[in-house]
A and B are shown apart, each in its own frame.
Chain A
């Protein structure tokens, strides 16, 4: 039981920091509320989908911005997707970076867009790393026979 308590504390400390540093917002808490005995892997599944989706979007955005003639409508469409999924998962910093990106798309400002893509990538890889650690902590708690602490 001591191991479980230690792991749970680690989890709580880690996730509290993520909220404090605005990596995650309340929407992530909403996702955790949806996880239960009948959907025990929900958060992990959604997080995996987010990673898959994001990496595709980053590739698409990179390619779109490298075109001779940039199709800003296409770029905007990808950014809209990225903003949507980061918002739905609670990845606040990624979402905010996407919002800035959208503005540059609307202005057809290519330099601004390129810079924003860098920023979005930066934020994405940061939160990806954090989420992977969080999912690992969850698995460790469950493997040790414990329950994921309720954050609300």
Chain B
């Protein structure tokens, strides 16, 4: 908490300057247990958390779904980081990453990919597409620090 309190005020990209507050992270995972686990890891990293159970719901929250008019959705601009599982039904974490990176509004928001499988080609593919970091599941207590560092780096 102290780190955030001492950092300088942060521009929210909409002409607004807000005194530093908790980073807002969107966590996407189709697994009930993993969603709870990532939620607590993020809360312990002093983040505000919104969870989504699949890629489509995540895009809807961000205002990036095909049927949405992104100019009318302000959720996306509030999100400081997205952390997503790789293996999800419908849309994989990789496909979600691509959609985020294609969006002019969200492309600079860091995306963390999680997976239970350590597949080098998969990791490489995600990093090539612009993922911030690739984390192996199951997530552990020590990942709290890793996530905190990632967020601090991204907030500058």
Contact check, A34 vs B138: say whether CB atoms are below 8 A apart. no
Contacting residues of chain A (108-146) with chain B, CB-CB under 8 angstroms: none
Chain B binder among A1-9, A11-19, A62-70, A76-84: A76-84
With A39-B43, A49-B36 already in contact, the answer to whether A85 and B31 are too (CB < 8 A) is yes
Contact check, A50 vs B141: say whether CB atoms are below 8 A apart. no
Q: Is the CB of B40 closer than 8 A to any CB of chain A? A: yes
The contact size tier of chain B is 20 to 34
Candidates A27, A46, A53, A81; contact of B140 at CB < 8 Å: A27
Main secondary structure of the interface of A (DSSP, over half): helix
Contact check, A34 vs B141: say whether CB atoms are below 8 A apart. yes
Min C-beta distance of B2 to chain A, whole Å: 16
Chain A residues in 8 Å Cβ range of B43 = 38-39
Chain B residues in 8 Å Cβ range of A49 = 32-33, 36
Contact check, B141 vs A88: say whether CB atoms are below 8 A apart. no
Contact check, A84 vs B116: say whether CB atoms are below 8 A apart. yes
Contacting residues of chain B (123-143) with chain A, CB-CB under 8 angstroms: 137-141
Q: Is the CB of A45 closer than 8 A to any CB of chain B? A: yes
Contact check, A87 vs B141: say whether CB atoms are below 8 A apart. no
Chain B residues in 8 Å Cβ range of A81 = 30-31
Contact check, B33 vs A53: say whether CB atoms are below 8 A apart. yes
Q: Is the CB of A10 closer than 8 A to any CB of chain B? A: no
Chain B residues in 8 Å Cβ range of A103 = none
Contact check, B37 vs A88: say whether CB atoms are below 8 A apart. yes
Q: Is the CB of B87 closer than 8 A to any CB of chain A? A: yes
Contact check, B31 vs A34: say whether CB atoms are below 8 A apart. no
Q: Closest residue to B87 on the A side, CB-wise?
A: A80
With A49-B33, A53-B33, A88-B31 already in contact, the answer to whether A42 and B40 are too (CB < 8 A) is yes
Per-residue interface assignment for chain B, residues 18 to 41, with 1 indicating a CB less than 8 Å from any chain A CB and 0 otherwise: 000000000000111110110011
Q: Is the CB of A105 closer than 8 A to any CB of chain B? A: no
Contact check, B137 vs A84: say whether CB atoms are below 8 A apart. yes
Per-residue interface assignment for chain A, residues 20 to 38, with 1 indicating a CB less than 8 Å from any chain B CB and 0 otherwise: 0000000100110110001
A34 to B43, CA, bound (A): 10
Q: Closest residue to B30 on the A side, CB-wise?
A: A81
Q: What are 29 A-B interface contacts by the 8 Å CB criterion?
A: A27-B140, A30-B140, A30-B141, A31-B37, A34-B141, A38-B43, A39-B43, A39-B44, A42-B40, A45-B36, A46-B36, A49-B32, A49-B33, A52-B32, A53-B31, A77-B89, A81-B30, A81-B31, A84-B31, A84-B34, A84-B116, A85-B33, A85-B34, A87-B116, A87-B138, A88-B31, A88-B34, A88-B139, A90-B138
